[in-house]
Structure 1
Amino acid sequence: MKIGILVTTIFTVGSHALFGQILVDDTNYTVAQLVSDVLINSNCAETSNYTSFTGTQQNINGIGYFNANNTDFPFEEGIVLSTGRARDARGPNTDINDSGTESWPGDEDLMTITKTGNLFNATFIQFDFVPLTNNISFNFLFASEEYQENYQCIYSDVFAFILTDAQGVSTNLALVPGTDQPVRATTIRPGVAEQCAARNLDFFGQINGDMDAISFEGQTESLKAESRVTPGETYTIKLVISDNQDPQVDSAVFLEAGSFSVGFDLGEDRTVDNGNPACIDEPIPLDATIEGVQRYRWYKDGSEIAAWTDTPKVALTESGTYRVDLIFSASCVSSGGLQVDFIAPPEIGERPADLTGCDIDGDGSEIFDLSANGAIMMGAQDPAIYAVTYFKSDADARAYAHPIENPDTYETRQSETIYARLSSGNSCYEITAFVLNLQALDFEASLPTSHVLCLDNNDGLLGLPPVLDTGLSPSEYNFTWYANEISEDNRIAGATGPSLSVSSLGTYHVRLQNLEVGCQFFLTTEVLPSRQPDIFEVRSVSDTFANNNTVEITAEGEGTYLYAVDDSEFAASNRFENLGAEEHTAYITDSENCSVLSKKFTIVDFPRFFTPNGDGINDVWRIVGFPEIEQAEITIFDQYGTMLYQFNDRSGWDGTAHDRNMPANDYWFKITYVKDNVHKEFKSHFTLKR
């Protein structure tokens, strides 16, 4: 029936069906065939006792053979194990695979080894095998419908490759690389915004779309399961997958055909990149002795080493990529490889110096930069190969165990010995030691964290330059001053005293060396600018002729400014109220009192009375600050509204009208004027006193 559907699809959509989806066969292969002919396909291991389990009682087969069918699927062919129908794995990804049932149980072995409860819809194949060599591995890929919506945050559909040895000890080999976590939807995932973060994203392959080769929502990258084994021992392998928490939405694992490799493990690569290269005077012995091997063939960088033919034990002395073929028979050849870098033994260029630190704050601890000794030890040796690592004991240094983390900020509460190892990782090495001397120091300096350089708005110096003064005695300390950065190029020539006069902005450092105990440390201060303002203005913020005359002083520039009017104290507020009708002086200074600028201004107002008695004092009534207003015209009225006098200049009114003195009384006036290009009018009254 499935073949008929496939043929129909091919004829209706042509090349899209042929190249757009994998093919799955869940009827024509026995479990023994899937294991021996598809997965292993090697005569270097004996397999037997094939068993399996899937949803047979529910009329669901979760076990099948697949072929990539010229798609971009990572594996050309192999085995698919599903928590639903295996044939549903075929793409495209247009529907949700959901063929499991509650009556289809999970698997106890999978539950135990992955510590995952509440399992449904288990599918597995199981077989015994006897390896001829010492290493097995295979490639697999996990795919799941749990990668839709937020299911990857919750549902842990899980797969395991359970290897059980002759003693009954079981191990799960299907782990997230570099971890002890089983492969499942929640351990390898892209994450969902605001619900769960991505995990092990480097191993997640892709979210699938309508045109992809398989029908699952997402899939991992190709992963490798691997283990050492004992030649000739009988092992049981169980490849098992199951749904978690509910039987809904399916997951599957794809096992690459022929990837079940029964090879030979020569050991880990001995390279600089791995941190374990070999020394040129330390040959690496290799032993490929396995019972039943008929011949041995050795290769270096792809070329056969004739002198080692049929020799199971060899010693490596040169850098290169090595391989051995173990020939059991014409149909069983097992191989193993090893890459080796041989390096020259490191040499300590110069013995590291003891370091002395001063506890100047009295907290009983101090930070040391251990790496200061690294360059001394390294000399001209290649830092791409060699490095200095620091340890608290000689034993740890020799074992390359428990190195000191963050050696550039190592904190200690006591004097101690540090062991420095010069090596290329866990390889040949030289070890030396140096002492950290922690000295308590009764220290107090007067150097502020910042100083101010007084400048005008053209960056000209105002007054004397600031003096950076430590307040310390040259009989107790040596002083070395630096500008901006601590380096020999930035050392200030001749600056060796406890204070320094500076006329440039920037950061200044002084290295202090205590003459009694020898420790040295740094103090830092910053020289900041305080400039005169670029803009200095006085602006009235109250209406003309208001009862409360108010102004604001405006300053713009690189500085913090203080303000005053007349004889008031300088303050941070730039607003001044209740100013009388007269000329005033505004002042501005910076917070460091570098300089004082002033500007005169006049409050426009009218006197509330005048006394025209000829004594020369207050004899004329006029507008105070008249020049500050524009197009002013003033008219004087008596209490009956009769116009008595009119003027538009500073002359004012002398209290006469119609050639006679007007009597003491209240008089009214009207002034029209222009302010801020707006015509305005103001009326009020004043008193004439005789």
Structure 2
Amino acid sequence: MFTQVKHSITMKQHLIGLFFLCTLLLSSTAELRAQIIVDESLTAQEVVETILLGEGVEIFNITYSGDLDQIGSFDANNSNILIPEGMIMATGSCSNVIGPNDSGSSTTGGGNFQVNDPDLDQLSTFNTNDAAVLEFDFIPTGDSINFNYSFGSDEYNEYVCGSVNDAFGFFLSGPGINGAYSNNAINLAVIPNTNGTPVTINSVNNGNVGSAGSANNCAQVDPNWMNNTAYYVDNENNGDANATQLDGFTVVLVAEAAVQCGQTYHIKIAIADAGDTAFDSSVFIEGGSFSSNAFDITATASISGNQIFGGDTTVVESCNDAVFQVVRPFADIADTLDVTISGTATNGVDYETIDPEVIMEVGEFSYEIPLIVIPDAEVEGPETVTIEYMYVNLCGDSVLRSATLIIADFEPTQLQYDNPVGICNGEAILEVETIGGYGPFDFLWSTGDTDTLAVNVIETDDPGAAQITVTDVCGNEQTATITYTMPPELVIYGEQTDSPLCPGDATVLEAGISTGVGPFTYDWSSGGDGTTETVNFDASQIVTLTVTDACGIQDSFDVEVEYPVWDPITGNDPEVCLGIQGDLNLTGGVGEADFAGNWVGQYEFYTWQYSNYDASGNPQDSAFALVDDVLDSLATFIGPSGNFQAGLTQGDMEIYVIDQCGAEGTFNVSVIACDTEIPNVFSPNGDSMNDFFRIPGIEGFPNSKLEIYNRWGNVIYQSNDYGGGWDGRINNEPVADGTYYYILRRSDGENFHGGLTITRQRR
């Protein structure tokens, strides 16, 4: 297959670390022994951009020819391959490198069948097959390019000096390069301190002719081939479970070349079978090592050289210190750098003062700036320290380099364990679990120096106790004493911890132990296996809890799970006058009775709202909406219990009442124009009872006129659109108690008159 992409990258992507961390964690649970991890799912573009690429290089025009399983990524931290992680290419499937070394010559299939590479043909002097070829262009920001690699093969050792040896090469072409390969390329995969001798099975090996080889074949590559054993690791018949399947591989070698800053170069990384298509070979290239010499700042936090805490960048108070490292590409002159120190942590307060002046002497390529945290008792949350420096590279570009460390508050380790523990069948199983803190943890039981695991099995029939000391990676200790005894009778209980409002709501059940010795296992008939169980039922029912103690003794308890039963929502279909308050008189559903015994429900009121009417007056759109949100609604509800205020428009409205549990009731409200009923007395004394001269039914007759006369025939109040709001005042001054005379000229043409008494006497 053949793929091509164009992309520009100037620094190594952080994805590499995330990928390797995830795959490492996944693999650690898959098998007890550790091994190399290979991922063949990545594309060539992903391999180059997220795995291979380092600092000081811009890449583009990535192409790849070969089968998908001939290129990928690897994590060798748990194997004997000397490069910890990076990219891999192989003549067959990359997964062939996964050990153990249980085959003298291994082939897993795969390979770009019958496809050769002319440069590998020339390098090996044999016809090649199954070629995998990765190519891309790059622009360096320094005057050199380099990367670290190791070559391994299953053709070791029996085919040393043979005629079917696999071949690989790193072919560099571009300005100032004049070699013997395509496009005047040179091969960077050469033995150190030689005149360009290529690294092959016949040039780097154990110094002995293989059973299928001839010394002439090795001498054809390098007359001194038997003297290169320092670059070879013999892995044949390696019984270590961590060992790779490959029968031999090289030490870590460096591919390097001088380049011109800012110019475009091309590199081809190729590997293929030679002379046949059998027995696989692989080349490992260290992740992030394809780089050009450049200035850099790094940060690391570790204890005894072991990475800890959030990707090796977290410093914990009272635990570990850290260091920033400034790296420069040249060391031929003394130089003073002024770095910038920033972050949320305060220099000289949260950590010992860091001098921003960095002095680098002649011959000094790197300079370490220690970060020494000052412990305190305050809970401050994560704080950052960043060091950055702007430099001009060999191409004349200004480049900002920075690194950040995180200061975290110390979190003590807590121990979780069952106490006491029962003696069962002559054994007491003591187990402790760490909560929080910083691992890895060391465990030491008082029962013996060899008892160093989190689980301690004590063979005994007699009660006793053991002390456990847990030491975190910071050296802090936590201790606990666990007793073990013959188990008493197991007695359990269970209870419902809350009261659900509605059928179907979640409710939590909790298990309890009255007597018994753990550890315990829990089994709820509803399906759970923890100390608590969350259930969702539509009605009350019984859940059975069964608990088993450490000796296999069981006890059961029935938990009555209660759910409320609400009555159906009922009410009436009221007919009310315009502008008058009404009530649906609702009962049932979610609610409660008030102090007078009246039902107060918790309801919401909905109706259908229609819009977008056509020429015939038929609505084209509708929406189910809250009554109070509907434009021109005939009624507005007052609170959640069903009281409402009728509007000033006649009509019928269908009301959908829904309670908090989703129960529904449907009712009809009719708003009508009623005849007026004119009272002959009102008492505006501020007691909120009959304080206004209200005329029931007047809302149905807008623009009605009202006049109030005193006993001498003088008009004291008048309105051309009376709605019932006179409070017995004139110019905000109350009129005297007594008898007055009204004339109501209703807007339908009818007139009414009569006496009106105002009295403020309270009864």
- Larger CA Rg, structure 1 vs 2: 1
